Amino acid sequence: MMLRSAVFAFALLATPVAALANQCPALMSEIDAALQTAQLSEADRAKVMELRAKGEQEHQAGDHAASEASLGEAKAILGI
């Protein structure tokens, strides 16, 4: 009984982390799609690509909050 409670508690704590982890790839996909048609200066395009790459690295490292921040900054430059 106690093991079941411990597993349940762990599952509840892990759920928000899993939700954040799943959001990063969606943000990257949005950025990739927007880059196809975006009218940006070369400097802005380079910055978006840099932020997108940084966000992916942060996601892979498990730092989903930082990843969302980087990807959000890229989206802001793209206007999405």
Q: What is the pLDDT of residue 11?
A: 56
CA-to-CA separations, 39 to 12, 42, 43, 77, in angstroms, rounded: 43, 9, 12, 11
Q: What is the pLDDT of residue 69?
A: 97
pLDDT tens digits along 5-22: 655 555 555 555 545 457
The Cα–Cα gap between 29 and 36 comes to 11
pTM: 0.74
The Cα–Cα gap between 7 and 42 comes to 51
pLDDT tens digits along 37-49: 999 999 999 999 9
Q: What is the pLDDT of residue 72?
A: 97
Among the residues of the chain, which ranges form H helices? 2-37, 42-60, 64-78
